[in-house]
């Protein structure tokens, strides 16, 4: 292997106090990849979609509503005897990975929506949600690093310790984040339209990583959209 001066520069920045700040993007990538794969159990598809999913959850009420219903449907399925499931959401619905029974998912989604409308907020929280575990890890790591910097105790070892600590604490913080992010009432305006089994193949980083996921995609619509279509007809 040829010597690359870049590695020497990175080693210098990492070992000496203050240089670690320039490596914070690397730490965040490490949290996303290592934490997402080993702790959160995220797949390639989940990791590649995570940044966009986080953005949509923050700024798109329809995606938040669909993710809320996705979590609720996963909880209903689990209480009906299915293993712990997770999923992702979009503006048109959501996808639950690891299940092939369309009827079970459809019925669980309809039941979950009715229970959410009746005020059963505990259905919104899925303890195993990879998305919220990764978010919790990133926020915790940044918080701890800021505290270390304020205390003038930040160095390479302490930053790595902060990342490892956030790894272990994230599962306990994730439910609180879900309660905050998915606590709105937008989900009550949804209607479940259908459920379809799909096989998704996703590649990332120019084909270096790929995954095949089997699951059920649920399509939803908002009541006001349906009513507008009826009026136009």
Reported as a single tens digit per residue, the pLDDT across 82-116 is 999 989 999 999 999 999 999 999 999 999 999 99
> What is the token pair recorded at 4?
């690359």
Measured in whole angstroms, the distance separating CA 66 from the mean position of its chain's CA atoms is 13
Please report the pLDDT score of residue 37 as a whole number.
52
Round to whole Å and give the CA distance between 192 and 87. Answer: 16
Q: Which residues pair with 197 in a beta bridge?
A: 216
Name the more confident of 224 and 132: 132
Round to whole Å and give the CA distance between 110 and 104. Answer: 10
DSSP 8-state class, residue 84: P
Round to whole Å and give the CA distance between 162 and 92. Answer: 38
Q: What is the arithmetic mean of pLDDT over 2-30?
A: 55
- Up-side HSE of residue 89: CA atoms within 13 Å toward CB? 27
Q: Are strands 87-89 and 209-222 parallel, antiparallel or unpaired?
A: unpaired
Q: Which residues pair with 196 in a beta bridge?
A: 217
Collapsed DSSP state (helix, strand, coil) of residue 192: strand
Q: What is the arithmetic mean of pLDDT over 159-183?
A: 87
Q: Which residues pair with 89 in a beta bridge?
A: 94
Above 50 in pLDDT, residue 179?
A: yes
**Distances from the Cα of 44 to the Cα of 36, 125, 209, 214, 230, angstroms:** 9, 23, 7, 13, 40
Please report the pLDDT score of residue 206 as a whole number.
62
* pLDDT tens, position by position, 23-46: 566 665 665 555 555 555 555 555
Q: Give 230: exposed, middle or buried? Use CB within 10 Å, 0-12, 13-18, 19+.
A: exposed
Q: What is the arithmetic mean of pLDDT over 68-80?
A: 96
Q: Give 132: exposed, middle or buried? Use CB within 10 Å, 0-12, 13-18, 19+.
A: buried
Residues 6+ apart with CB under 8 A from 222: 62, 65, 189, 190, 191
Computed over every residue of the chain, the mean pLDDT equals: 79
Minimum mean pLDDT range among 112-116, 144-148, 177-181: 144-148
Above 60 in pLDDT, residue 151?
A: yes
For residue 96, report the phi and psi dihedrals to the nearest 5 degrees. Answer: -105, 120
Above 70 in pLDDT, residue 228?
A: no
Nearest to 57, CA basis, from 115, 121, 113, 134: 134
Please report the pLDDT score of residue 64 as a whole number.
95
């Amino acid at each position: 292997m040829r010597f690359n001066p870049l590695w020497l520069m990175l080693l210098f920045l990492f070992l000496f106090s203050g240089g670690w700040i320039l490596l914070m993007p690397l730490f965040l990538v490490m949290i996303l990849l290592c934490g997402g794969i080993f702790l959160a159990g995220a797949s390639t598809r989940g990791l590649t979609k995570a940044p966009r999913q986080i953005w949509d959850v923050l700024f798109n009420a329809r995606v938040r509503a669909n993710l809320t219903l996705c979590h609720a449907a996963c909880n209903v399925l689990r209480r009906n005897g299915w293993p712990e499931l997770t999923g992702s959401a979009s503006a048109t619905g959501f996808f639950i990975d690891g299940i092939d029974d369309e009827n079970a998912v459809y019925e669980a989604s309809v039941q979950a929506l009715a229970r959410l409308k009746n005020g059963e907020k505990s259905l919104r929280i899925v303890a195993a949600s990879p998305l919220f575990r990764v978010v919790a890890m990133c926020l915790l790591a940044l918080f701890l690093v800021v505290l270390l910097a304020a205390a003038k105790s930040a160095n390479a070892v302490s930053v790595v310790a902060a990342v490892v600590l956030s790894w272990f604490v994230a599962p306990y913080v994730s439910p609180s984040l879900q309660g905050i992010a998915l606590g709105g009432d937008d989900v009550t305006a949804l209607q479940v339209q259908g459920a379809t089994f799909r096989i998704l193949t996703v590649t990332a980083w120019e084909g270096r990583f790929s995954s095949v996921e089997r699951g059920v995609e649920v399509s939803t619509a908002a009541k006001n959209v349906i009513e507008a279509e009826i009026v136009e007809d």
